[in-house]
Structure 1
Amino acid sequence: MKSRTLVIGDLHGALKALEQAMERANVTENDTLIFLGDYVDGWSDAANLVNYLITLKTTHNCVFIKGNHDELFLDWLQKEKHNPQWLLHGGQATIDSYKKLTEGEIDVHIQFLSELENYYLDTENRLFLHAGFTNEHGVEKEAFSKSFYWDRTLWEMVLAMDKNLTLESIYYPKRLKHYAEIYIGHTVLSRINETTPQQRANVWNIDTAAAFKGPLTILDVDTKEYWQSEPAYKLYANEKGRN
Protein backbone atom coordinates (compact mmCIF):
# COMPACT_ATOMS: atom_id res chain seq x y z
CA MET A 1 0.00 0.00 0.00
CA LYS A 2 1.27 3.46 -0.92
CA SER A 3 2.40 5.58 2.00
CA ARG A 4 0.53 8.81 2.66
CA THR A 5 1.25 11.98 4.62
CA LEU A 6 -1.79 12.66 6.77
CA VAL A 7 -2.29 15.79 8.86
CA ILE A 8 -4.64 15.69 11.85
CA GLY A 9 -6.42 18.67 13.38
CA ASP A 10 -6.81 19.77 17.00
CA LEU A 11 -7.89 16.87 19.23
CA HIS A 12 -8.75 18.37 22.64
CA GLY A 13 -9.09 15.06 24.43
CA ALA A 14 -11.45 13.52 21.87
CA LEU A 15 -9.89 10.06 21.64
CA LYS A 16 -13.14 8.54 20.35
CA ALA A 17 -13.14 11.02 17.45
CA LEU A 18 -9.51 10.25 16.62
CA GLU A 19 -10.09 6.50 16.59
CA GLN A 20 -13.17 6.93 14.40
CA ALA A 21 -11.44 9.26 11.92
CA MET A 22 -8.40 6.98 11.70
CA GLU A 23 -10.63 4.02 10.96
CA ARG A 24 -12.47 5.97 8.25
CA ALA A 25 -9.15 7.07 6.74
CA ASN A 26 -7.91 3.45 6.84
CA VAL A 27 -4.67 4.58 8.48
CA THR A 28 -1.84 2.06 8.22
CA GLU A 29 1.71 1.80 9.51
CA ASN A 30 2.89 2.98 6.09
CA ASP A 31 1.38 6.43 6.64
CA THR A 32 3.15 9.43 8.15
CA LEU A 33 0.91 11.09 10.72
CA ILE A 34 1.38 14.78 11.51
CA PHE A 35 -0.58 15.98 14.52
CA LEU A 36 -1.07 19.75 14.73
CA GLY A 37 -1.31 19.99 18.52
CA ASP A 38 -3.84 20.72 21.28
CA TYR A 39 -4.09 17.16 22.50
CA VAL A 40 -5.69 18.16 25.81
CA ASP A 41 -8.33 20.51 27.25
CA GLY A 42 -11.86 19.71 26.17
CA TRP A 43 -13.27 16.20 26.40
CA SER A 44 -12.71 13.69 29.19
CA ASP A 45 -10.21 11.44 27.39
CA ALA A 46 -7.18 13.76 27.58
CA ALA A 47 -5.03 11.35 29.60
CA ASN A 48 -6.18 8.36 27.56
CA LEU A 49 -5.52 10.28 24.33
CA VAL A 50 -1.96 11.21 25.26
CA ASN A 51 -1.38 7.60 26.28
CA TYR A 52 -2.71 6.50 22.89
CA LEU A 53 -0.37 8.90 21.06
CA ILE A 54 2.64 7.72 23.06
CA THR A 55 1.84 4.15 22.02
CA LEU A 56 1.08 5.18 18.43
CA LYS A 57 4.56 6.56 17.89
CA THR A 58 6.02 3.10 18.56
CA THR A 59 4.14 1.63 15.59
CA HIS A 60 3.74 4.56 13.17
CA ASN A 61 5.86 7.39 11.78
CA CYS A 62 4.46 10.32 13.77
CA VAL A 63 5.20 14.02 14.10
CA PHE A 64 3.72 15.74 17.15
CA ILE A 65 3.43 19.54 17.03
CA LYS A 66 3.00 21.64 20.18
CA GLY A 67 -0.30 23.47 20.74
CA ASN A 68 -0.99 26.31 23.15
CA HIS A 69 -3.17 24.07 25.33
CA ASP A 70 -0.35 21.55 25.55
CA GLU A 71 1.97 24.23 26.85
CA LEU A 72 -0.60 25.41 29.40
CA PHE A 73 -1.12 21.89 30.67
CA LEU A 74 2.61 21.17 30.84
CA ASP A 75 3.03 24.29 32.97
CA TRP A 76 0.42 22.93 35.34
CA LEU A 77 2.06 19.49 35.49
CA GLN A 78 5.53 20.87 36.14
CA LYS A 79 4.82 24.02 38.15
CA GLU A 80 1.14 23.74 39.17
CA LYS A 81 0.82 27.01 37.27
CA HIS A 82 -2.60 27.86 35.89
CA ASN A 83 -5.18 30.59 35.57
CA PRO A 84 -8.97 30.51 35.93
CA GLN A 85 -9.48 31.04 32.19
CA TRP A 86 -7.49 27.91 31.36
CA LEU A 87 -9.62 25.88 33.77
CA LEU A 88 -12.79 27.16 32.10
CA HIS A 89 -11.49 26.44 28.59
CA GLY A 90 -10.97 22.74 29.09
CA GLY A 91 -8.22 22.69 31.71
CA GLN A 92 -10.40 21.28 34.47
CA ALA A 93 -11.50 18.34 32.30
CA THR A 94 -7.84 17.55 31.62
CA ILE A 95 -6.90 17.74 35.30
CA ASP A 96 -9.79 15.43 36.15
CA SER A 97 -8.73 12.91 33.50
CA TYR A 98 -5.24 12.67 35.03
CA LYS A 99 -6.39 11.85 38.56
CA LYS A 100 -6.26 8.09 37.90
CA LEU A 101 -2.68 8.08 36.57
CA THR A 102 0.28 7.09 38.71
CA GLU A 103 3.22 9.40 39.23
CA GLY A 104 5.30 7.25 36.90
CA GLU A 105 2.68 7.43 34.14
CA ILE A 106 2.47 11.19 34.51
CA ASP A 107 6.26 11.44 34.20
CA VAL A 108 6.04 9.64 30.84
CA HIS A 109 3.38 12.12 29.70
CA ILE A 110 5.51 15.06 30.86
CA GLN A 111 8.37 13.77 28.72
CA PHE A 112 6.05 13.43 25.71
CA LEU A 113 4.68 16.96 26.13
CA SER A 114 8.20 18.36 26.67
CA GLU A 115 9.39 16.91 23.36
CA LEU A 116 6.63 18.35 21.15
CA GLU A 117 7.89 20.18 18.06
CA ASN A 118 7.28 23.89 17.41
CA TYR A 119 6.98 23.16 13.68
CA TYR A 120 7.83 20.58 11.05
CA LEU A 121 9.08 21.19 7.50
CA ASP A 122 8.92 18.19 5.18
CA THR A 123 10.99 17.34 2.10
CA GLU A 124 8.37 18.95 -0.15
CA ASN A 125 8.81 22.31 1.61
CA ARG A 126 5.45 21.99 3.33
CA LEU A 127 5.30 23.63 6.75
CA PHE A 128 3.22 22.24 9.62
CA LEU A 129 2.63 24.14 12.86
CA HIS A 130 -0.17 24.72 15.32
CA ALA A 131 -0.90 28.41 14.89
CA GLY A 132 1.38 30.62 12.81
CA PHE A 133 4.46 32.83 12.65
CA THR A 134 5.08 36.51 12.02
CA ASN A 135 8.62 36.92 10.70
CA GLU A 136 8.72 37.75 6.98
CA HIS A 137 11.89 35.66 6.63
CA GLY A 138 10.20 32.46 7.83
CA VAL A 139 10.01 30.26 10.90
CA GLU A 140 13.77 29.93 11.39
CA LYS A 141 13.96 33.69 11.99
CA GLU A 142 10.98 33.84 14.36
CA ALA A 143 12.21 35.50 17.56
CA PHE A 144 9.16 34.77 19.70
CA SER A 145 8.67 30.99 19.76
CA LYS A 146 5.24 31.22 21.40
CA SER A 147 3.95 32.55 18.07
CA PHE A 148 4.17 29.03 16.71
CA TYR A 149 1.31 27.95 18.97
CA TRP A 150 -0.48 31.23 19.84
CA ASP A 151 -0.44 33.39 16.69
CA ARG A 152 -3.69 34.04 14.82
CA THR A 153 -2.44 36.74 12.44
CA LEU A 154 -1.34 34.25 9.78
CA TRP A 155 -4.86 32.89 9.31
CA GLU A 156 -6.48 36.32 9.69
CA MET A 157 -4.15 37.68 7.01
CA VAL A 158 -4.94 35.03 4.41
CA LEU A 159 -8.66 35.36 5.10
CA ALA A 160 -8.41 39.06 4.30
CA MET A 161 -6.21 38.68 1.19
CA ASP A 162 -7.46 39.56 -2.26
CA LYS A 163 -7.97 36.22 -4.04
CA ASN A 164 -6.50 37.69 -7.22
CA LEU A 165 -3.21 38.64 -5.57
CA THR A 166 -0.29 36.87 -7.26
CA LEU A 167 3.15 35.89 -5.99
CA GLU A 168 4.68 38.56 -8.22
CA SER A 169 2.73 41.35 -6.56
CA ILE A 170 4.64 43.68 -4.23
CA TYR A 171 1.71 43.29 -1.84
CA TYR A 172 1.92 39.50 -1.59
CA PRO A 173 2.89 38.63 2.02
CA LYS A 174 6.58 37.72 2.15
CA ARG A 175 6.17 35.15 4.90
CA LEU A 176 3.98 33.00 2.66
CA LYS A 177 6.55 32.82 -0.16
CA HIS A 178 8.98 30.60 1.75
CA TYR A 179 6.77 27.50 1.73
CA ALA A 180 4.91 25.44 -0.83
CA GLU A 181 2.05 24.97 1.63
CA ILE A 182 1.38 25.74 5.29
CA TYR A 183 -0.86 23.60 7.49
CA ILE A 184 -2.29 24.96 10.74
CA GLY A 185 -4.96 24.40 13.36
CA HIS A 186 -5.62 26.63 16.40
CA THR A 187 -8.37 28.86 14.98
CA VAL A 188 -11.63 26.94 14.64
CA LEU A 189 -13.24 27.05 11.22
CA SER A 190 -16.67 27.36 12.78
CA ARG A 191 -15.77 31.06 13.14
CA ILE A 192 -16.32 31.36 9.39
CA ASN A 193 -19.18 28.84 9.37
CA GLU A 194 -17.11 26.03 7.85
CA THR A 195 -16.89 22.40 8.97
CA THR A 196 -14.35 21.12 6.41
CA PRO A 197 -10.65 21.95 5.81
CA GLN A 198 -10.22 25.36 4.22
CA GLN A 199 -7.49 26.79 1.99
CA ARG A 200 -6.66 30.47 1.67
CA ALA A 201 -3.58 31.38 -0.42
CA ASN A 202 -1.19 28.50 0.36
CA VAL A 203 -2.44 28.04 3.93
CA TRP A 204 -4.65 25.13 4.95
CA ASN A 205 -6.60 25.27 8.22
CA ILE A 206 -7.51 21.80 9.55
CA ASP A 207 -9.17 22.80 12.86
CA THR A 208 -12.78 21.78 12.25
CA ALA A 209 -13.76 22.49 15.89
CA ALA A 210 -13.72 19.04 17.46
CA ALA A 211 -13.39 20.84 20.79
CA PHE A 212 -16.83 22.34 20.30
CA LYS A 213 -19.57 21.18 17.91
CA GLY A 214 -17.48 20.04 14.95
CA PRO A 215 -15.80 16.84 13.76
CA LEU A 216 -12.15 15.86 13.86
CA THR A 217 -10.44 15.96 10.46
CA ILE A 218 -7.63 13.95 8.87
CA LEU A 219 -6.38 15.25 5.51
CA ASP A 220 -4.09 13.69 2.90
CA VAL A 221 -1.70 16.53 2.05
CA ASP A 222 -0.97 15.17 -1.42
CA THR A 223 -4.47 14.47 -2.70
CA LYS A 224 -6.44 16.77 -0.34
CA GLU A 225 -8.86 13.94 0.33
CA TYR A 226 -10.10 14.12 3.91
CA TRP A 227 -11.96 12.03 6.46
CA GLN A 228 -13.93 13.20 9.47
CA SER A 229 -15.32 11.75 12.65
CA GLU A 230 -18.81 12.39 13.86
CA PRO A 231 -19.03 15.72 15.70
CA ALA A 232 -17.09 15.05 18.90
CA TYR A 233 -19.87 16.29 21.16
CA LYS A 234 -22.05 13.42 19.93
CA LEU A 235 -19.36 10.95 20.94
CA TYR A 236 -19.22 12.56 24.40
CA ALA A 237 -22.93 13.17 24.78
CA ASN A 238 -22.91 13.66 28.55
CA GLU A 239 -20.12 16.25 28.54
CA LYS A 240 -19.87 19.96 27.87
CA GLY A 241 -16.49 20.09 26.14
CA ARG A 242 -14.80 23.48 25.90
CA ASN A 243 -16.77 26.62 26.69
Structure 2
Amino acid sequence: MVYLKTDEEIELLRESNLLVAKTLGELAKVIKPGVTTLQLDKIAETFIRDHKGVPGFLNYQGFPNTLCTSVNDQVVHGIPNDKPLNDGDIVSIDCGVLLNGFYGDCAYTFEVGQVDEKIRRLLQTTKESLYKGIEQAFEGNRLGDIGHAVQTLCESRGYSVVREMVGHGIGRKLHEPPEVPNYGRKGSGIKLRKGMVIAVEPMINLGKRDIKMWNDNWTISTIDKSISAHYEHTIAIGKNEADILSSFKFVEEVLTLQS
Protein backbone atom coordinates (compact mmCIF):
# COMPACT_ATOMS: atom_id res chain seq x y z
CA MET A 1 0.00 0.00 0.00
CA VAL A 2 1.59 3.27 -1.14
CA TYR A 3 0.85 6.04 1.35
CA LEU A 4 0.30 9.48 -0.20
CA LYS A 5 1.54 12.40 1.90
CA THR A 6 -0.28 15.66 2.51
CA ASP A 7 1.42 19.00 1.82
CA GLU A 8 1.97 19.39 5.58
CA GLU A 9 3.62 15.98 5.83
CA ILE A 10 5.86 16.78 2.86
CA GLU A 11 7.06 19.92 4.66
CA LEU A 12 7.95 17.79 7.73
CA LEU A 13 9.77 15.37 5.43
CA ARG A 14 11.65 18.33 3.95
CA GLU A 15 12.87 19.31 7.45
CA SER A 16 14.11 15.76 8.13
CA ASN A 17 15.88 15.63 4.79
CA LEU A 18 17.48 19.05 5.25
CA LEU A 19 18.95 17.85 8.54
CA VAL A 20 20.45 14.87 6.68
CA ALA A 21 21.80 17.26 4.01
CA LYS A 22 23.39 19.51 6.64
CA THR A 23 24.90 16.47 8.38
CA LEU A 24 26.55 15.40 5.11
CA GLY A 25 27.82 18.99 4.76
CA GLU A 26 29.49 18.73 8.19
CA LEU A 27 31.16 15.48 7.14
CA ALA A 28 32.41 17.04 3.89
CA LYS A 29 34.51 19.44 6.02
CA VAL A 30 36.55 16.64 7.60
CA ILE A 31 36.84 13.91 4.95
CA LYS A 32 40.52 13.50 4.04
CA PRO A 33 43.21 10.79 4.09
CA GLY A 34 43.80 9.53 7.66
CA VAL A 35 40.25 10.09 8.92
CA THR A 36 38.34 6.96 9.96
CA THR A 37 34.73 6.23 9.10
CA LEU A 38 34.07 5.72 12.81
CA GLN A 39 35.18 9.32 13.45
CA LEU A 40 32.75 10.46 10.74
CA ASP A 41 30.02 8.39 12.38
CA LYS A 42 30.51 10.10 15.75
CA ILE A 43 30.46 13.58 14.15
CA ALA A 44 27.21 12.71 12.37
CA GLU A 45 25.49 11.31 15.47
CA THR A 46 26.44 14.35 17.55
CA PHE A 47 25.31 16.80 14.87
CA ILE A 48 21.95 15.05 14.39
CA ARG A 49 21.22 14.90 18.13
CA ASP A 50 22.31 18.53 18.61
CA HIS A 51 19.65 19.48 16.04
CA LYS A 52 16.87 17.56 17.85
CA GLY A 53 16.95 14.60 15.46
CA VAL A 54 17.51 10.91 16.06
CA PRO A 55 19.91 8.90 13.86
CA GLY A 56 17.58 6.98 11.53
CA PHE A 57 19.87 4.01 10.88
CA LEU A 58 21.24 3.43 14.41
CA ASN A 59 19.76 0.12 15.65
CA TYR A 60 17.48 -0.06 12.59
CA GLN A 61 16.97 -3.83 12.19
CA GLY A 62 20.15 -4.18 14.27
CA PHE A 63 22.41 -1.85 12.25
CA PRO A 64 25.11 -0.71 14.73
CA ASN A 65 25.83 2.86 13.57
CA THR A 66 24.50 6.26 12.47
CA LEU A 67 26.03 6.15 8.98
CA CYS A 68 26.48 3.56 6.27
CA THR A 69 30.04 4.17 5.04
CA SER A 70 30.92 2.15 1.94
CA VAL A 71 34.52 2.42 0.72
CA ASN A 72 35.73 1.68 -2.84
CA ASP A 73 34.26 -1.70 -3.90
CA GLN A 74 31.63 -1.60 -1.16
CA VAL A 75 28.27 -0.75 -2.73
CA VAL A 76 26.11 0.04 0.31
CA HIS A 77 25.59 -0.65 4.03
CA GLY A 78 29.27 -0.54 4.99
CA ILE A 79 29.75 -0.42 8.78
CA PRO A 80 31.96 2.42 10.12
CA ASN A 81 35.30 1.23 11.51
CA ASP A 82 38.63 2.57 12.79
CA LYS A 83 40.60 1.96 9.57
CA PRO A 84 41.91 5.29 8.15
CA LEU A 85 40.76 6.36 4.70
CA ASN A 86 43.59 6.49 2.14
CA ASP A 87 44.43 9.02 -0.54
CA GLY A 88 42.57 7.95 -3.70
CA ASP A 89 39.73 6.17 -1.90
CA ILE A 90 36.08 6.99 -2.37
CA VAL A 91 33.49 6.65 0.39
CA SER A 92 29.74 6.58 -0.10
CA ILE A 93 28.03 8.00 2.97
CA ASP A 94 24.36 7.18 3.43
CA CYS A 95 22.65 8.99 6.30
CA GLY A 96 19.16 8.80 7.75
CA VAL A 97 17.40 10.96 10.32
CA LEU A 98 14.13 10.76 12.24
CA LEU A 99 12.72 14.21 13.05
CA ASN A 100 9.16 15.20 13.95
CA GLY A 101 7.96 11.67 13.22
CA PHE A 102 9.33 11.53 9.66
CA TYR A 103 12.47 10.10 8.11
CA GLY A 104 15.07 11.77 5.91
CA ASP A 105 17.45 9.74 3.75
CA CYS A 106 20.26 10.93 1.47
CA ALA A 107 23.61 9.63 0.22
CA TYR A 108 26.70 11.15 -1.40
CA THR A 109 29.94 9.57 -2.62
CA PHE A 110 33.01 11.53 -1.53
CA GLU A 111 36.49 11.57 -3.00
CA VAL A 112 39.32 11.17 -0.48
CA GLY A 113 42.36 13.18 -1.56
CA GLN A 114 43.39 12.72 -5.21
CA VAL A 115 41.12 10.22 -6.96
CA ASP A 116 41.83 8.52 -10.29
CA GLU A 117 40.12 10.23 -13.25
CA LYS A 118 38.40 6.97 -14.28
CA ILE A 119 36.75 6.78 -10.84
CA ARG A 120 35.80 10.47 -10.90
CA ARG A 121 33.95 9.88 -14.16
CA LEU A 122 32.00 7.03 -12.54
CA LEU A 123 30.98 9.34 -9.69
CA GLN A 124 29.97 12.07 -12.11
CA THR A 125 27.82 9.70 -14.17
CA THR A 126 26.17 8.15 -11.11
CA LYS A 127 25.19 11.57 -9.79
CA GLU A 128 24.01 12.63 -13.24
CA SER A 129 21.90 9.46 -13.51
CA LEU A 130 20.20 10.30 -10.20
CA TYR A 131 18.96 13.59 -11.67
CA LYS A 132 18.01 11.89 -14.96
CA GLY A 133 15.82 9.53 -12.93
CA ILE A 134 14.33 12.40 -10.93
CA GLU A 135 13.40 14.20 -14.17
CA GLN A 136 10.99 11.34 -14.85
CA ALA A 137 9.37 11.47 -11.39
CA PHE A 138 6.14 13.33 -12.00
CA GLU A 139 2.43 12.51 -11.82
CA GLY A 140 1.21 10.19 -14.57
CA ASN A 141 4.61 8.73 -15.37
CA ARG A 142 5.47 5.23 -14.14
CA LEU A 143 8.06 3.81 -11.79
CA GLY A 144 9.86 2.10 -14.69
CA ASP A 145 10.46 5.49 -16.31
CA ILE A 146 12.77 6.45 -13.42
CA GLY A 147 14.80 3.24 -13.55
CA HIS A 148 14.94 3.31 -17.36
CA ALA A 149 16.47 6.82 -17.30
CA VAL A 150 19.13 5.79 -14.75
CA GLN A 151 19.97 2.55 -16.55
CA THR A 152 20.12 4.07 -20.03
CA LEU A 153 22.62 6.76 -19.07
CA CYS A 154 24.90 4.51 -17.00
CA GLU A 155 24.98 1.58 -19.41
CA SER A 156 25.57 3.91 -22.38
CA ARG A 157 28.85 4.89 -20.67
CA GLY A 158 29.92 1.32 -20.00
CA TYR A 159 28.92 1.07 -16.32
CA SER A 160 26.68 -1.53 -14.72
CA VAL A 161 23.59 -1.05 -12.57
CA VAL A 162 23.17 -3.01 -9.32
CA ARG A 163 19.82 -4.84 -9.54
CA GLU A 164 19.28 -6.34 -6.09
CA MET A 165 19.50 -3.08 -4.10
CA VAL A 166 16.80 -0.50 -4.83
CA GLY A 167 15.34 2.80 -3.70
CA HIS A 168 12.13 2.92 -1.67
CA GLY A 169 9.16 4.85 -0.41
CA ILE A 170 9.79 6.85 2.77
CA GLY A 171 7.70 8.65 5.37
CA ARG A 172 6.86 7.69 8.96
CA LYS A 173 8.86 4.54 8.20
CA LEU A 174 12.35 4.50 6.72
CA HIS A 175 11.34 1.94 4.11
CA GLU A 176 7.82 2.00 2.68
CA PRO A 177 6.35 0.74 -0.59
CA PRO A 178 7.10 1.05 -3.45
CA GLU A 179 10.53 -0.32 -4.27
CA VAL A 180 12.34 1.96 -6.75
CA PRO A 181 14.70 -0.01 -9.04
CA ASN A 182 17.51 1.72 -10.94
CA TYR A 183 16.68 -0.19 -14.11
CA GLY A 184 13.49 -0.90 -15.98
CA ARG A 185 11.32 -0.43 -19.03
CA LYS A 186 9.65 2.84 -19.96
CA GLY A 187 5.94 2.81 -19.13
CA SER A 188 6.20 -0.17 -16.74
CA GLY A 189 5.47 -0.34 -13.02
CA ILE A 190 2.97 1.54 -10.89
CA LYS A 191 1.69 4.96 -11.89
CA LEU A 192 3.30 7.86 -10.04
CA ARG A 193 0.89 10.06 -8.10
CA LYS A 194 1.23 13.46 -6.46
CA GLY A 195 1.99 12.98 -2.77
CA MET A 196 4.16 9.90 -3.22
CA VAL A 197 7.53 10.34 -1.52
CA ILE A 198 10.38 8.09 -2.63
CA ALA A 199 14.14 7.76 -2.22
CA VAL A 200 15.88 7.39 -5.58
CA GLU A 201 19.39 5.94 -5.17
CA PRO A 202 21.46 4.69 -8.10
CA MET A 203 24.22 2.22 -7.16
CA ILE A 204 26.52 1.98 -10.17
CA ASN A 205 29.63 -0.18 -10.67
CA LEU A 206 32.77 0.38 -12.72
CA GLY A 207 32.87 -3.36 -13.47
CA LYS A 208 30.19 -6.05 -13.47
CA ARG A 209 26.87 -5.61 -11.63
CA ASP A 210 27.20 -8.74 -9.45
CA ILE A 211 27.33 -8.20 -5.70
CA LYS A 212 27.82 -10.21 -2.50
CA MET A 213 27.02 -9.75 1.18
CA TRP A 214 29.77 -9.90 3.81
CA ASN A 215 29.71 -12.10 6.88
CA ASP A 216 28.65 -9.07 8.94
CA ASN A 217 25.22 -9.46 7.23
CA TRP A 218 25.25 -5.79 6.19
CA THR A 219 28.11 -4.79 3.91
CA ILE A 220 27.42 -5.30 0.20
CA SER A 221 30.38 -5.23 -2.21
CA THR A 222 31.08 -5.97 -5.87
CA ILE A 223 32.13 -9.55 -6.56
CA ASP A 224 34.82 -8.45 -9.04
CA LYS A 225 36.16 -5.86 -6.54
CA SER A 226 35.40 -3.01 -8.97
CA ILE A 227 34.64 0.44 -7.57
CA SER A 228 31.00 1.33 -6.86
CA ALA A 229 29.32 4.75 -6.50
CA HIS A 230 26.06 5.67 -4.77
CA TYR A 231 24.00 8.88 -4.61
CA GLU A 232 20.52 9.33 -3.15
CA HIS A 233 17.83 11.97 -2.91
CA THR A 234 14.43 11.83 -1.23
CA ILE A 235 11.81 13.36 -3.54
CA ALA A 236 8.08 14.10 -3.57
CA ILE A 237 6.22 13.37 -6.81
CA GLY A 238 4.68 16.60 -8.12
CA LYS A 239 2.14 17.39 -10.82
CA ASN A 240 4.72 18.40 -13.43
CA GLU A 241 8.06 17.70 -11.75
CA ALA A 242 9.63 16.20 -8.63
CA ASP A 243 10.23 18.24 -5.50
CA ILE A 244 13.70 17.29 -4.20
CA LEU A 245 13.39 17.29 -0.40
CA SER A 246 17.04 16.48 0.37
CA SER A 247 19.95 18.54 -0.92
CA PHE A 248 23.61 18.32 -1.95
CA LYS A 249 23.96 22.08 -1.51
CA PHE A 250 25.74 21.94 1.86
CA VAL A 251 28.20 19.28 0.68
CA GLU A 252 28.98 21.06 -2.55
CA GLU A 253 29.49 24.44 -0.90
CA VAL A 254 32.20 22.84 1.25
CA LEU A 255 33.78 20.97 -1.68
CA THR A 256 33.85 24.17 -3.77
CA LEU A 257 35.66 26.02 -0.98
CA GLN A 258 38.19 23.18 -0.69
CA SER A 259 38.97 22.99 -4.42
Task: Provide TM-score, normalisation by structure 2.
Answer: 0.26
